[in-house]
Amino acid sequence: KPELLIITSSVCTLYTREAIHLLGAEKRVGVLKLGTTWPLPPKLVKKHLSLTDKILIVEEVVPFIEETVKILAAEEVREIGIKTFYGKNDGTLPMTGELNPDLVISALSKILNIPYQTMAPEFEKKLEAVTASLSPNRELTFCPGCPHRASFWSIHEALQMDNRKGFVCGDIGCYGMGMFPCGFNVIKILHAMGSGLGLASGFGKLNAFGMDQPVLAVCGDSTFYHAVLPPLVNAIHHRANVTLIVLDNSGTAMTGFQPHPGLPVNAMGEESPGVDIAGVCRAMGAKVEIGDPFAQTETRKSINRLMEEEGVKVLILRQSCALSPEKKNKKKFEMRVEPSKCLGDECSCNRLCTRIFRCPGLVWDKEQKKSRIDEVLCAGCGFCALICPAGAIGREEAVNQ
């Protein structure tokens, strides 16, 4: 029977085992690694809880395992007895930040009264300062070749050309990053799944009070089926002036390409009739157009035209996710930057491609002082060739083996 039981999972198991080894506490500490954290395996956990009176929960982020194990222990207290728990809630482990072996060692040394100093305090402070200075800025961004980046570029351009201070209501999905620089800060409102069009339809009635700003909403194809149908009915029924842009990338990309009702296969992998977004919208009475986000000029013109019209309009921008099986390891275009045409900092574009467009496949070559293509990251979508004002980015059809 161990003096202390540690319940953990995932990478925290490695931190735990390393900490136990460094403290030489193998004979005093037992480890239960959970393969599934939800639903919790009650019989397995109960069996291990009965072996000791002290339990330390080691997990990242919120104390989810800790709380569920405590509930189980309270329900089974007559059989397993009263236990003492250590974890995030009592401050044994920090509630925020990233875990590491040193933090687990600190927790174990306090619980087991084992003297141990991971490093000198002055060295720890210096290490924190150096680490902070070396940490790269990891901002959220779209994947290379993501059609959403192209869609938001066109939406941004359309709003700029319209010049009536139009705005976009967002929704939940990868495209939620449209509120960040990678989406050119196009999304101004982001609340909850299904709320994008719901809010936009309300704003779309304010023309009766003199508001002439165009109102747009964006959603993904999966979100459309899950939560946008009710607000679409509401918008059409109340004659709101709103443009809905459906970013159709043929799957639930953000959470692992689970199928949705628009695909010819169901959750069990069986053939199933797909529900067509365009057909549904037309049947409800909305005007529908379909486009390709990588056709930049045509997409921008469509958005500008639809913003001028009254009523509910739906623009479906279809392009598969850059990480989808049909595109993975396949490039449509081979991309290149012509050194003779790229003027670097001498160009009046002020590094438009790397500073504004920000695709990870485009990088700034500090030695050459010009833009270049990162061939490892570039997905070959070809869109960047359309936005370079100097025409320095070229593309040609790729030959995929």
**Across all residues in the chain, what is the average pLDDT?**
94
Kindly indicate the confidence band of residue 88, based on its pLDDT and cuts at 50, 70 and 90.
very high
Cα of 45 vs its chain's centroid, Å: 33
Q: Give the pLDDT confidence of 290-301 residue by residue, as tens digits.
A: 999 999 999 999
355 DSSP 8-state letter? I
Angstrom distance (rounded) from CA 157 to CA 139: 23
Residue matched to tokens 């157009």? 289
Label the pairing between strands 370-373 and 215-220: unpaired
For 236, the token pair is 């059409």
For 188, the token pair is 């101004």
Angstrom distance (rounded) from CA 381 to CA 360: 12
Q: How far is CA 326 from CA 135, 271, 320, 330, 401, in A?
A: 35, 18, 8, 8, 14
Res 63: pLDDT: 96
Res 401: pLDDT: 53
Instruction: Judge contact between 161 and 214, C-beta under 8 A.
Output: no
Burial of 325 (0-12, 13-18, 19+ CB in 10 A): exposed
Q: What is the DSSP string of 127-149?
A: HHHHHHHH-------PPTT-HHH
Q: What is the pTM of this model?
A: 0.74
Per the rule left: phi > 0, alpha: psi between -120 and 50, beta: everything else, 109 is: alpha
Q: Give the pLDDT confidence of 26-72 residue by residue, as tens digits.
A: 999 999 999 999 999 999 999 999 999 999 999 999 999 999 999 99
Query: What's the rounded mean pLDDT across residues 5-21?
Result: 96
Instruction: Judge contact between 338 and 394, C-beta under 8 A.
Output: yes
Q: Which domains does the chain have, with CATH numbers?
A: 4-134 (3.40.50.920), 147-318 (3.40.50.970), 333-397 (3.30.70.20)
For 25, the token pair is 């506490």
For 40, the token pair is 């919790």
224 DSSP 8-state letter? I
Label the pairing between strands 312-318 and 242-248: parallel
Angstrom distance (rounded) from CA 401 to CA 398: 10
Amino acid found at 175: Y
Q: What is the DSSP string of 185-205?
A: T-EEE--STTHHHHHHHHHTT
375 DSSP 8-state letter? T
Per-residue pLDDT at 227 exceeds 90: yes
Instruction: Judge contact between 311 and 287, C-beta under 8 A.
Output: yes
% of the chain surpassing 90 pLDDT:
83
Residue matched to tokens 């931190």? 15
Kindly indicate the confidence band of residue 133, based on its pLDDT and cuts at 50, 70 and 90.
confident
Reference 250, options 283, 276, 217, 281; nearest CA is: 276
Burial of 38 (0-12, 13-18, 19+ CB in 10 A): exposed
Instruction: Judge contact between 166 and 196, C-beta under 8 A.
Output: no
Q: How far is CA 228 from CA 66, 77, 223, 273, 395, in A?
A: 36, 46, 6, 20, 37
Angstrom distance (rounded) from CA 354 to CA 346: 15
Kindly indicate the confidence band of residue 124, based on its pLDDT and cuts at 50, 70 and 90.
confident
Reference 277, options 230, 329, 314; nearest CA is: 314
